[in-house]
Amino acid sequence: MITFLSSIVLLVLAYFTYGKYVEKVFGADANRETPAIKEPDGVDFVPMSTTKNYLIQFLNIAGLGPIFGPIMGALYGPVAFLWIIAGSIFAGGVHDYCHPKPN
């Protein structure tokens, strides 16, 4: 339970500290339109309501987590727990913040 609570604290701290760093590096512009609004194509870029957007994000996380965690733990042992936390902070957060523009 100590490792679980520690990881929660670490994720929250990273959200506020590393998140601000990533925002400063990539620069947030509240007036910039998203590709779904700017270049809708009906396939990859489709404007959605906020409710649908949050539901899709939740289903992606809740659907993969219970499967991915135990498999990684069985394959690699306790180090997988650290990898999931570090990957969530340094890779997942940056990926979600900075989605590249398609060619």
Could you identify the residue written with the tokens 């398609």?
Answer: 102
Give the pLDDT score at 46. Answer: 87
The answer to whether residues 17 and 6 touch, using CB atoms and an 8 Å cutoff, is no
Mean pLDDT across 23-40: 83
Q: How many CA atoms lie within 13 A of 73 on its CB side?
A: 9
% helix, strand, coil for the chain, step of 5: 75, 0, 25
Q: What is the pLDDT of residues 64-86, one digit of tens each?
A: 777 877 888 889 888 888 888 88
Q: What is the pLDDT of residues 40-60, one digit of tens each?
A: 888 888 888 888 888 877 777
pLDDT category, 99, cuts 50, 70, 90? Answer: low
Nearest to 72 by CA among 60, 82, 59, 63: 82
pLDDT category, 103, cuts 50, 70, 90? Answer: very low
